[in-house]
Amino acid sequence: SEMEKLQSGDDPVASAAASWSFVNRPPVQQQINPFTNLPHTPRYHEILKKRLQLPVWEYKDVFTEILMRNQSFVLVGETGSGKTTQVEAWGTVAAMSVAQRVSDEMDVMLGQEVGYSIRFEDCSSAKTVLKYMTDGMLLREAMNDPLLERYGVIILDEAHERTLATDILMGVLKEVVRQRSDLKVETSSQKSPELLFIFLYFDNCPLLTIPGRTHPVEIFYTPQPERDYLEAAIRTVIQIHMCEEEEGDILLFLTGQEVPPPDNMGKQMFYGLEDSWKISNIFFVSGFFIFQIWISIEKHVLSIFVLFLSFSLYFPFGSFMSLLMFILSYIHPLVTVYNPRIRVESLLVTAISKASAQQRAGRAGRTRPGKCFRLYTEKAYRTEMQVKKILRSNLGSVVLQLKKLGIDDLVHFDFMDPPAPETLMRALELLNYLAALNDDGDLTELGSMMAEFPLDPQLAKMVIASCEFNCSNEILSITAMLSVPQCFVRPTEAKKVADDAKMRFAHIDGDHMTLLNVYHAFKQSNKSSTNCDPLWCYDNFVNYRSLMSADNVRQQLSRIMDRFNLPRNSADFNSRDYYLNIRQALVTGFFMQVSDQSGGATLIFKLKVVQLHPSTVLDHKPEWVLYNEFVLTTKNYIRTCTDVKPELVKISPQYYEMSNFPQCEAKRQLEHIIAKLSSKEYTQF
């Protein structure tokens, strides 16, 4: 079969390519850009010379031929083949960087013929013919254009990563292809165990394999499991620095929470080498930092918080990628895992997939032979442990999007990996409690509106409901702050000063109001100028780029509200209802995420004992708190909390039905409150 030939490395299309005369036809050296009708710039010709050296260029005409003859096919591009820039890319960072790169290759302005679309940002125009976007954004476009009639060719990159949105998109596109004979769908993947599923899912469609352009990479494993991966990483970096004779740079993969602050990283990680290190913050985008640390003249370490799938785009032809020789790969990234039985979504450390491990190793062999030090055993690598995202995620947003797409029969939807029935039921239950679905499971008018917001259902419901409570301006700001990376900065050597700075923004009601105070102070500090002041952020220990991102998110959400004629309003700041209204709006979205602190049990997950996260600004023990996030570490923590009153039951009487709760102190409190509410209307939240 074609799959067996693929696995053996014998691709029939690639084998026949050598006999096709047009494969090796040299590119036409056009002097006039057909998009701008202007002469090509010198940079265009400079980039073209490098493009011609990529393995994928030889298959350009083969790719076109297969695309013309088939509606669907799978492209297997190995590391270093050049498929990312010459074919496509996805992901927030990748979409922006590849769009910029391709606009340079086509010698056009970014946002014109070549554009991108990511969450809360659209850089495209009516002239755009090539658009890079995240998988989630394409799925969102499908809600308003079910047949995706704006597009003639859709390319899904990195399909082997099996993100939640990509899995759903595959099911949607499979149905769209049946209804649109003119649509072409190409799926790109690496050679990985997931490739077999993709191949079979698309009904044994044609395959095109493009070889990579990499050098040999020597792989090393630890003899025994490491108890402290960060310590092992530091030890290995120093050993490479001291013992390796060959020159080369070191790429170290760690999770974000394990990397010390940049201004203290050198002294903490490389004690004894103080005279030879220097730190430079060289890149920041979408909340992720990349720091470069020079350990000596010969070697430096690049520590990446999160593995970027298209990492080489940041340094495609720079000195770093040409010197990269050593890779230190870590097996346990942080991922979100949802437990439908107790309705908890938590951040856990799990194993990476084989595909990710192979991709990391390939970075060391881009320009010359390299070495990859895997900080785990060979047995751990050979045991595929990563669970597909669709099987470990809260599907509330997915179900809402599918309903918006008109897909009501979720049981028979063509999932690549069908989620557990209990997970689907919990998602339907959540949306029903939020009034996004009626009791028959049909999408309500409110649910249709919620689906248009690029937010979790709880946040979308909260934003819409805030108009009723005369606080939509404040809720927009809070939602924007919750949608970006943590804004507070707490350097190791200045924890006390940073904590004092945070308390200057603290609100007695809790963390949501504190975030609102930070945003208001940030905007007020820049009221006299058009440019936001990074120095103000530095002095107040808050992240400048997080606040700038929050401001951008708020503007995008405001435009969506305007589209639905939702008023942006606020109560008088001096009114006693100002903060009361905000708390009521918070409860409309997060009434299921409430903890009874008097008894130490959360109502929604079967009296599981939790504690307030140490980062909270609440300096008293409230009776009940509403929380935004559940964090599972050595203890069960709830993070980003606000003090609320038990009378919140009137917001969602259906959810707080007494028959849903076992006998406990929380139930006795609820019964007492409901009795009061039946005789007197309470408004204090």
pLDDT digit string, tens, across residues 501-549: 999 999 999 999 999 999 999 998 876 555 567 889 989 999 998 899 8
- Domain shared by 666 and 604, yes or no: yes
Q: Which residues contact 90 (CB under 8 A, 6 or more apart)?
A: 132, 133, 134, 135, 156, 157, 158, 166
Highest mean predicted confidence (pLDDT) among 21-35, 138-152, 242-256, 333-347:
138-152
pLDDT at 458: 95
| Pairing, β 114-118 against β 121-123 | antiparallel
Cβ atoms within 10 Å of 181's Cβ, excluding its own: 7
The whole domain housing 603 covers 592-679
- Domain match, 108 and 10 both: yes
Return the percent helix, strand and coil in the chain, to nearest 5. Answer: 45, 20, 40
Computed over every residue of the chain, the mean pLDDT equals 76
Tokens 């696995």, located at residue? 7
CA separation for the pair 605, 344 (Å, rounded):
7
pLDDT band for position 98 (cuts 50, 70, 90)? confident
Query: What is the reported pLDDT for 151?
Result: 92
Task: Write the DSSP assignment of 644-678 as a string of letters.
Answer: E-GGGGGT-TTTT-GGGS-SSHHHHHHHHHHHHHH
25 three-state secondary structure: coil
Would you place residue 428 in the very low, low, confident or very high pLDDT band (cuts 50, 70, 90)?
Answer: very high
The answer to whether residue 575 is domain-embedded is no
Q: Which amino acid is at 607?
A: L
* Residue 83 covered by a domain: yes
Confidence of residue 414 (pLDDT cuts 50, 70, 90): confident
Over range 313-327, report the average pLDDT.
45
Q: Determine how β-strand 300-304 pairs with β-strand 249-253.
A: parallel
Assess if residue 569 is contained within a domain. no
Q: How far, in Å, CA of 625 to CA of 509, rounded? A: 10
CATH number at residue 46: 3.40.50.300
Whether residue 6 is found in the same domain as residue 112? yes
Out of 67-71, 91-95, 281-285, 542-546, pick the least confident: 281-285
State yes or no: pLDDT of 331 exceeds 70: no
CA–CA dist 211, 56 (Å, integer): 8
Q: Write down the pLDDT at residue 7.
A: 44
On whether residue 583 sits in a domain, the answer given is no
Q: Which of these three, 210, 230, 258, is where a domain ends?
A: 210
User: How would residue 325 be classed by pLDDT, with cut points 50, 70 and 90?
Assistant: low
Choose the final residue of a domain: 374, 389, 404.
Answer: 389
Is 581 inside a domain boundary?
no
Whether 611 maps to a domain, the answer reads yes
Mean pLDDT of 463-472: 96
Where b means 16+ CB within 10 Å and e means fewer, 614-627 reads: ebbbbeeebebbbb
What domain count does the chain have?
Answer: 5
| Claim to verify: residue 69 and residue 201 sit in the same structural domain | yes
pLDDT above 70: residue 27: no
User: Do 165 and 228 fall within a single domain?
Assistant: no
Q: What's the confidence (pLDDT) of residue 600?
A: 53
Regarding predicted confidence, which is higher, 623 or 461? Answer: 461
* 179 and 30 share one domain: yes
pLDDT, mean of residues 178-188: 88
Range with top average pLDDT, 10-24, 151-165, 380-394 = 151-165
Give residue 328's pLDDT: 66
**Three-class secondary structure of residue 624 per DSSP:** strand
| Mean pLDDT of the region 350-357 | 72
- Taking residues 45-58, report their average pLDDT: 79
Q: What are phi and psi of 414, to 5 degrees?
A: -80, 70
Residue 516 in domain: yes
Given 175, 195, 210, which residue is the final one in a domain?
210
Residues 527 and 617 in one domain: no
pLDDT of residue 17: 37
From the CB of residue 262, how many other CB atoms can be counted at a distance below 10 Å? Answer: 16
Distance CA 122, CA 120 (A): 7
What pLDDT is attached to residue 619?
85
In a domain, 302, yes or no: yes
**How far apart are the C-alpha atoms of 349 and 337, rounded to whole Å?**
10
Residue pointed to by tokens 């606080």? 471
> What pLDDT was estimated at residue 570?
92
pLDDT-derived band at 318 (thresholds 50, 70, 90) equals: very low
What percent of the chain has a predicted confidence (pLDDT) above 70? 69
- Give 539-544 contacts, CB < 8 A, sequence gap 24+: 539/501, 540/501, 540/504, 540/505, 541/488, 541/489, 541/490, 541/491, 541/494, 541/497, 541/498, 541/501, 541/502, 542/487, 542/488, 542/489, 542/501, 542/518, 543/485, 543/486, 543/487, 543/488, 543/489
Average pLDDT over residues 13-22: 37
Share of the chain above pLDDT 90, in %: 25
- Segment of 112-126, 288-302, 665-679 carrying the highest mean pLDDT: 112-126
Which of 174-188, 204-218, 232-246, 325-339 has the least mean pLDDT? Answer: 325-339
Asked if residue 138 has pLDDT above 50, the reply is: yes
* DSSP strands (E only) in 356-426: 370-374
Least confident of 314-318, 485-489, 501-505: 314-318
Q: Do residues 551 and 603 share a domain?
A: no
What is the pLDDT confidence band of residue 284, given thresholds at 50, 70 and 90? very low
Q: Where is average pLDDT lowest: 190-194, 315-319, 527-531?
A: 315-319
**Is the separation of the CB atoms in 80 and 213 below 8 Å?**
yes
Which of 500, 406, 512, 398 has the alpha carbon at shortest distance from 168?
398
pLDDT of 188: 80
With tokens 């083969």, the residue in question is 62
State the SS3 of 159-206: HHHCCHHHHHHHHHHHHHHHHCCCCEEEEEECCCHHHHHHHHHCCCCC
For residue 411, what is the domain's CATH number?
A: 1.10.10.2130
Say how far apart CA 322 and CA 375 lie, in whole Å.
Answer: 24
Query: Rounded to an integer, what distance in angstroms lies between the CA atom of residue 413 and that of residue 168?
Result: 9
Q: CB under 8 Å to 34, separation ≥6 — which residues?
A: none
- CB-based burial label for 165 (10 Å; 0-12, 13-18, 19+): buried
Q: Which of 492, 474, 471, 493 is nearest to 482 (CA)?
A: 474
Q: What is the predicted pLDDT for the residue at 427?
A: 92
Closest CA to 338 of 326, 352, 350: 350
Model confidence at 593, pLDDT cuts 50, 70, 90, reads confident
- SS3 of residue 132 by DSSP: strand
Dihedral (CA of 128, 134, 138, 140) sign: negative
The verdict on 116 and 224 lying in the same domain is no
676, pLDDT greater than 90: no
Q: 401 and 471, same structural domain?
A: no
Does the pLDDT value for residue 16 go beyond 70?
A: no
Identify the band that residue 159 occupies on the pLDDT scale cut at 50, 70 and 90: confident
Is 286 in the same domain as 375? yes
pLDDT, average across residues 286-309 = 34
The helix/strand/coil state of 217 is strand
Based on the fold, state whether residues 40 and 101 are members of the same structural domain.
yes
Q: What secondary structure, in 3-state letters, does 67-106 show? A: HHHCCEEEEEECCCCCHHHHCCCCCHHHHHHHHHHHHHHC
Q: What is the pLDDT of residue 587?
A: 92
